[in-house]
């Protein structure tokens, strides 16, 4: 059953990638689905109290990151082009990803997903010169899909430790 849930989550991530790259518009319900499926997967490995604490810490840190970025644009840049810099879909993905992994693995994956997105954008930009924006949610979704795919073959203790 767990393998099916992981495969379903991988499909959801790949759907986000496809829609974000192809149409730059992702169905909104896919983001909560990421959070719910990731939460269910975590429940297989962690007790409720640890699961809620990890998710809460991850969510607070993501909200801090989003708030800091918003405040930077408001007070330092003095212009709010926040929606042009980061899309609503990106923020929705940021809000539901905290439910996918315990705190330490989540932050490692999140930071590396951002670096992965930057590198992927750089290589895609070399081939397609007309691309101006990064499909951030899609690239992050691709990274997390790869993580979950690899998780099918590795020891659970590497990802879900207390």
Q: Mean pLDDT for the chain?
A: 90
Residue 36 phi, psi dihedral angles, 5° rounding: -65, -45
C-alpha 30/C-alpha 47 separation (Å) is 26
What are the pLDDT digits (tens) for 28-84? 999 999 999 999 999 998 999 999 999 999 999 999 998 998 888 778 877 666 566
Chain-centroid distance of CA 82 in Å reads: 19
What are the angstrom distances between the C-alpha of 144 and each of 92, 111, 131, 148? 15, 11, 23, 6
More confident residue, 161 or 154: 154
Q: Answer whether residue 20 shows pLDDT above 90.
A: yes
- pLDDT on residue 86: 79
Average pLDDT over residues 7-31: 95
C-alpha 63/C-alpha 51 separation (Å) is 18
- pLDDT on residue 130: 79
- pLDDT on residue 70: 82
What are the angstrom distances between the C-alpha of 136 and each of 4, 48, 66, 155? 26, 31, 14, 29
More confident residue, 89 or 130: 89
- CB 36 within 8 Å of CB 8: no
Number of residues that make up the chain: 162
């Amino acid at each position: 059953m767990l393998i099916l849930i992981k495969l379903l989550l991988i499909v959801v991530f790949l759907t986000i990638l496809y829609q974000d790259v192809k149409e730059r518009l992702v169905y909104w319900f896919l983001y909560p689905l990421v959070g719910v499926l990731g939460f269910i997967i975590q429940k297989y490995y962690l007790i409720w109290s640890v699961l809620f604490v990890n998710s809460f810490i991850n969510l607070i840190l993501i909200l801090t990151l989003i708030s800091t970025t918003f405040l930077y644009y408001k007070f330092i840049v003095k212009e709010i082009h926040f929606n042009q810099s980061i899309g609503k879909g990106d923020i929705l993905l940021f809000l539901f990803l905290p439910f996918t992994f315990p705190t330490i693995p989540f932050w490692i994956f999140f930071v590396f997903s951002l670096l992965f997105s930057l590198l992927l954008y750089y290589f895609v930009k070399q081939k397609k010169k007309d691309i101006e924006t990064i499909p951030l949610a899609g690239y992050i979704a691709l990274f997390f899909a790869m993580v979950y795919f690899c998780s099918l073959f590795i020891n659970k203790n590497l990802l879900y430790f207390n």
